[in-house]
Structures are given as structure tokens and as C-alpha cells.
Amino acid sequence: MPALDLTVSSIDLTRQLCDIESVSGDEQRIADEIWRVLGGAAHLDVFRDGDALVARTNLGRAKRVVIAGHIDTVPINDNVPTRFETIDGTDYLWGRGTVDMKAGCAVALKLAVELDEPAVDVTWVWYDHEEVSDALNGLGRLARQQPELLAGDFAILMEPSNSSVEGGCNGNLRAEIRTYGLRSHSARSWIGDNAIHKAAPILDLLAAYEARQVEVDGLVYREGLNAVGITGGVAGNVIPDECMVHVNYRFAPSRSTDEAVAHIRELFGEFDVTIVDLAQEPGRASTPHSRKSFWRPSEAKPSPNTAGPTSPDSPASVSPRSTTVRVTRSRPMQTTNASLSSRSPSANEGSGRG
Ligand SMILES: [Zn+2]
């Protein structure tokens, strides 16, 4: 088993983290490893709750920053162990978790152990179950059970964002929209009532839906309403009596979760609507003033598929979920300690919760 070695570069540490499989629900081994390396850092008070880990400096600084990332991934897809690939002269680390989000976890882990005299107190968090139902989310569990561990003046989630800073967090809702009909043999289809055909207006509505771009506290949040799945059908010779369209709604913090549910019920009111997952209230970003006190933009550029920042320091952009992370380094790969960047071109996923 590959033990974590913090003396290597962030890139190689990313690779070590990725090569420990940690699909949601199976995070114990990676949590054990992180727990072990944190135990060697005398400047950190370390706490564990299930497979969520919290490490805090207690230097009496005037301010505290919380830096967090999830250690689970979506299911493996023939992409572990990771490998390096060179495409058009650029080196990529390829495989599950390289982007979302073990590169961020690696940077945080290395900094947590190496920075024993940070200018602000820092709370480092690595947590489980981000990629699944909100009810299982390790960060939510910590917030409910030990909120004092997460207290701070400013918080950063190390999710992939093309190396730009994204403020705030969209809310996340999933719903199942159902249509019903009547089964019959397809040789006597006029006797039946086709539930899949009845789903056409749902898809028409989604295809025509114009998602909002909403400004909240100086940040532009880009919403999204999409079908993410569809099921229906009984057999190749049966008129189906049920069809379900799985819909995902990412909504700006100008809407409460109740208002988001109401919006979905209003849109699909003529159908059977079941809300199957609903994140807690979407997160407003910090105030523009507190943002300025913690970071200064060096290259705040809107990504191509966003509305762009409303002020130079406030890009709220869309996160990619690609499976590679580009590594910027000089060869040979073992001897460098260069920065990580994730400017790969795919970017089709809504911002906010992964
Ligand atoms: Zn993520």
C-alpha cells in the first residue's frame, strides 16, 4: 500500500492520494493515511470524526482561515492507478481524483504540515461523502455535531476552479419527475397509453429553460436546470406505463431551498414531482470587504462560460470535472516542486457543490 510521503512535490503527493481508491463510502484507508501523517506535526491539534479530519493551529492569531476539501471521489472508471501523459508538449496527471479534488487535498496537506508559523491561524479539513447525498456529507456532519471546530473568519474550499477564485456556492436540488400511462402489448398499442411519450413536455421545458444569472453580494451566480437521467420501459414489445426524468437544479443563494422547491413544483406542476436530494441553504460568499482583506487577485479572469465578474475581484465561475490535471514543471518529474494548474478545457458542470 502506498504510504503518503510529504517530502515529495504536491504533484507526486496528488498522485499518491489518487492511487488510494476512495470512492464515497470507502474513505477509511485514505483517512487513516492522512491521520497518520498529520500526527507527526507538533503544531497541529488533530481531530477525527468518522473519516473526516480536522487539523488546527492554535497560535493565538487575530484571524482564522478554514481550508477544506473532500477526500472521496465518484466511482472509478478504469482510471486508477493514475499515470502521467504528455499531450502537445504539456504534462498531465491523468486519473480519478486528480482534478476533483485530490490535487487540492494534496496542496492543503503539504501546507498543513509544512507551515508551522502561518500568519493567521488555520483550520484544515479533509472530509468524506461529498459526492453523494447531502445527508451523508462529512462537512455537514461536522457542522451539525462540532460546529466549533469549523469556526473561522474566512473559508476556502479547494475544489477545482481553473486556478481562479470562485465566491459563494449554488444550492443543489435533485427531483424525479414522473409520467404515468397504461401498459399494453405493442401489437395492440392503441389499448395502452405511452408514459415515455408523455415525458416529451418535460424535456421540451428543460431544453427551452433559460437559466438565470443572479447577482448576490457582488458575485454573479450562474444557475442550471438539467435532465441528468431518464428511465422508462418494460420490454421491447410493451407500451410503458411509467417514465421518470431525473432533474438537477443548481440555484443561486438569492433563493432559499424552499423557494427552489417551489420553483420546481411550479415548473412541473402537472407531473408527479418527488424531491430526492436537497442541499442546505446555498452559501453566500463573504462580503466584498472581507474578501479583499484575505486575498488580492493576480489574474482574475472570467472563464469562457460564465457571466464573468461584476468587479475585478469577484469571479464566480463554473467548475470543470475533467479527469486530468495539468502539471507545470520542468523535467525530471521527481525533482521539482512546481505549481499545479487545472486549466483543462472541459467545463460543463455547474459551480458550487460537486
Ligand atoms: Zn469536488
Per residue in 78-110, pLDDT tens?
999 999 999 999 999 999 999 899 999 999 999
User: Whole domain around residue 46: which residue ranges?
Assistant: 10-162+319-341
Statement: residue 21 has pLDDT above 80: yes
Q: What pLDDT, on a 0 to 100 scale, did the predictor assign at position 287? A: 64
Statement: residue 141 has pLDDT above 80: yes
Q: Is 197 left (phi over 0), alpha (psi -120 to 50) or beta?
A: alpha
Statement: residue 345 has pLDDT above 50: no
Q: What pLDDT, on a 0 to 100 scale, did the predictor assign at position 226? A: 98
Same domain, 209 and 323: no
Selected catalytic residue, list 12, 72, 241, 242 = 72
Same domain, 62 and 189: no
Q: What pLDDT, on a 0 to 100 scale, did the predictor assign at position 282? A: 73
Q: How far is the CA of 152 from the centre of ligand 1 (A)?
A: 21
Q: What pLDDT, on a 0 to 100 scale, did the predictor assign at position 169? A: 83
Same domain, 123 and 207: no
Q: Considering 247, 278, 309, which residue would you say is the last residue of a domain?
A: 278
Distance in angstroms (rounded) separating the CA atoms of residues 351 and 169: 7
Same domain, 21 and 130: yes
pLDDT higher at 20 or 283: 20
Q: What percent of the chain has pLDDT over 90?
A: 71
User: What is the domain-level CATH number for residue 214?
Assistant: 3.30.70.360
Q: What percent of the chain has pLDDT over 70?
A: 79
CB 165 within 8 A of CB 104: no
Same domain, 153 and 14: yes
pLDDT digits (tens, 9 = 90+) for 148-188: 999 999 899 999 887 777 888 899 999 999 999 999 999 99
Work out the pLDDT band at 313, boundaries 50, 70, 90: very low
Q: How far is the CA of 230 from the centre of ligand 1 (A)?
A: 24
In a domain, 217, yes or no: yes
Distance in angstroms (rounded) separating the CA atoms of residues 118 and 210: 45
Rounded to an integer, the average pLDDT of 9-24 is 96
Q: How far is the CA of 319 from the centre of ligand 1 (A)?
A: 9
Work out the pLDDT band at 340, boundaries 50, 70, 90: very low
Rounded to an integer, the average pLDDT of 215-243 is 95
Work out the pLDDT band at 330, boundaries 50, 70, 90: very low
Q: How far is the CA of 353 from the centre of ligand 1 (A)?
A: 7
Q: What pLDDT, on a 0 to 100 scale, did the predictor assign at position 273? A: 98
Q: How far is the CA of 232 from the centre of ligand 1 (A)?
A: 30
In a domain, 201, yes or no: yes
In a domain, 179, yes or no: yes
Same domain, 44 and 94: yes
In a domain, 304, yes or no: no
Same domain, 110 and 139: yes
How many domains does the structure of the chain reveal? 2
Statement: residue 341 has pLDDT above 90: no
User: What is the domain-level CATH number for residue 105?
Assistant: 3.40.630.10
Q: What pLDDT, on a 0 to 100 scale, did the predictor assign at position 133? A: 87
Same domain, 228 and 133: no
Selected catalytic residue, list 100, 121, 130, 242 = 130
Same domain, 147 and 250: no
Statement: residue 279 has pLDDT above 70: yes
Same domain, 19 and 59: yes
Q: How far is the CA of 145 from the centre of ligand 1 (A)?
A: 22
In a domain, 290, yes or no: no
* 72 catalytic residue (yes or no): yes
- List C-alpha distances in Å: 287 to 161, 168, 293: 20, 10, 10
Q: How far is the CA of 183 from the centre of ligand 1 (A)?
A: 42
Work out the pLDDT band at 147, boundaries 50, 70, 90: very high
Same domain, 252 and 127: no
Beta-sheet pairing, 242-251 with 224-232: antiparallel
Q: What pLDDT, on a 0 to 100 scale, did the predictor assign at position 325? A: 58
Q: In 3-state terms, the chain is what percent helix, strand and coil (to 5)? A: 25, 30, 45
Q: How far is the CA of 100 from the centre of ligand 1 (A)?
A: 5
In a domain, 289, yes or no: no
Same domain, 175 and 158: no
CB 310 within 8 A of CB 285: no
Q: What is the average pLDDT score of the chain?
A: 84
Q: Considering 246, 263, 278, which residue would you say is the last residue of a domain?
A: 278
In a domain, 352, yes or no: no
Q: What pLDDT, on a 0 to 100 scale, did the predictor assign at position 315? A: 32
Q: Considering 225, 255, 278, which residue would you say is the last residue of a domain?
A: 278
Q: What pLDDT, on a 0 to 100 scale, did the predictor assign at position 286? A: 64
Torsion of CA 212, 215, 216, 217, to 10 degrees: 170
In a domain, 336, yes or no: yes
Q: How far is the CA of 217 from the centre of ligand 1 (A)?
A: 24
- Nearest Cα to 132, choosing from 25, 211, 228? 25
Q: How far is the CA of 133 from the centre of ligand 1 (A)?
A: 13
Q: Which of 23-32, 48-57, 291-300, 303-312 has the lowest mean pLDDT?
A: 303-312
Work out the pLDDT band at 3, boundaries 50, 70, 90: confident
Rounded to an integer, the average pLDDT of 23-50 is 97
Q: What pLDDT, on a 0 to 100 scale, did the predictor assign at position 59? A: 97
